[in-house]
Amino acid sequence: MHNKISKFIQEAESFSAETIEQIEAFRIKFLSKKGVISELFEEFKILPGEQKKEVGQLLNQLKNTLQDRINSLKDQLGSEVTTSNIQDLSLPGTAINQGSRHPISIVRKEILDIFSRIGFTVSEGPEIEDDKHVFSALNFPPEHPARDMQDTFFIEKNPDILLRTHTSSIQVRVMENTRPPIRTVSPGRVFRNEAISARAHCIFHQVEGLYIDEKVSFADLKQTLLYFAKELFGEDTKIRLRPSYFPFTEPSAEMDVSCNLCGGKGCNVCKYTGWLEVLGCGMVDPNVLDFNNIDSSKYTGFAFGMGIERIAMLKFQIRDLRLYFENDLRFLEQFSSVV
């Protein structure tokens, strides 16, 4: 054992390394819990008493030699690394790459800013909702197709708990807890059981608006939406309202804006009609007001809703909805200059 320890001392004294990793491997070999030193101390325990004094001194010498050699090499390598990394402070700095905002976030903020300028507040609510807030309180009849599983994501097949299909559920919560006048917009992510393609996705984002007060008319709705369209798409933008149907509004309408790419002359984006559909709207159905304990004989209101992806497609000429969800830097970096 005396000769074995002497050889290890010689190995420690002659050891050299070029990297921190080599030093760490050497340390583990000798000084770890299962290393050479531990094994030698196990052998030391069974030595005859007359040999323990001399061998014990050698073991301590080996341990100290190993530790000193490791510390010395670490100090040497550390000094070399520090010296090699000294930089010329007079050189120009390296520019930090600026990140880019997602087009959905850009358009969402712009829409909310427009409506905030005319007195609308922002309301938010849960993405996992119940039947009452998504359907019943909005005048959806029990047999409405939206309640079917092929159109809506239900939680564990529970017919009462589901992923919200529109942010109108937030409007219901606002009506439950706020007395008129109410003027709010509700942005958020919604979910529908649809096949994913260039024109459709099972996840998308909406902004829906609600205004309830005394003597609110369809003319108020039209002027609000005209102001919004001009602010978002440009002063020359025109709108048109076409009759439609939604369970929670009566009368209901779809709103189109004049195509800002062709100036209304007709192109492949607007399918040569000169118009682009952007949102649905209408006067709040009295049944919805009464269900939410708002006196429909005293108050009237209007509501509207739009898909943010649809608006962003028109604004930035994006032709595939799937690009919003793929996190492709080549796509996202195109919006780094957009405020």
Query: Residue 173 maps to which CATH number?
Result: 3.30.930.10
Q: 289-313 burial, b for 16+ CB within 10 Å, e for fewer?
A: bebbebebeebbbbbbbbbbbbbbb
Q: What is the pLDDT of residue 175?
A: 94
Residue 257's region, left for phi above 0, alpha for psi from -120 to 50, else beta, is beta
Q: Judge if 17 and 136 occupy the same domain.
A: no
Q: What is the pLDDT of residue 107?
A: 93
Among 224, 234, 254, 249, CA closest to 115:
224
Which burial class, exposed, middle or buried, applies to 316 when counting CB atoms under 10 A from its CB (0-12, 13-18, 19+)? middle
When divided into structural domains, the chain yields a total of 2
- Give me the amino acid identity at 128: I
Q: What spatial distance separates the first Cα and last Cα of the chain, rounded to whole Å? A: 75
Q: Residue 226 is part of which domain span?
A: 103-335
If the chain, 339 residues long, is cut into consecutive pieces of 10 residues, what is the mean pLDDT of each piece? 77 82 84 81 77 78 83 75 59 76 92 95 93 87 64 78 91 92 94 81 91 95 95 90 92 89 70 86 94 93 93 83 86 77
pTM of the full structure = 0.67
Among 78, 79, 60, CA closest to 5:
60
Q: What is the pLDDT of residue 241?
A: 94
Q: Judge if 24 and 76 occupy the same domain.
A: yes
Q: What is the pLDDT of residue 86?
A: 58
Eight-state DSSP code of residue 333: G
Q: Judge if 237 and 328 occupy the same domain.
A: yes
Cβ contact 229:111 at 8 Å: no
Looking at 25, 51, 83, the residue that finishes a domain is 83
Would residue 293 count as lying in a domain?
yes
Would residue 211 count as lying in a domain?
yes
Q: Judge if 77 and 113 occupy the same domain.
A: no
Q: Judge if 27 and 117 occupy the same domain.
A: no
Q: What is the pLDDT of residue 83?
A: 45
CA–CA dist 339, 336 (Å, integer): 8
Would residue 90 count as lying in a domain?
no
Q: Is the peptide bond before 48 cis (omega within 30 degrees of 0)?
A: no
Q: Judge if 62 and 187 occupy the same domain.
A: no
Would residue 89 count as lying in a domain?
no
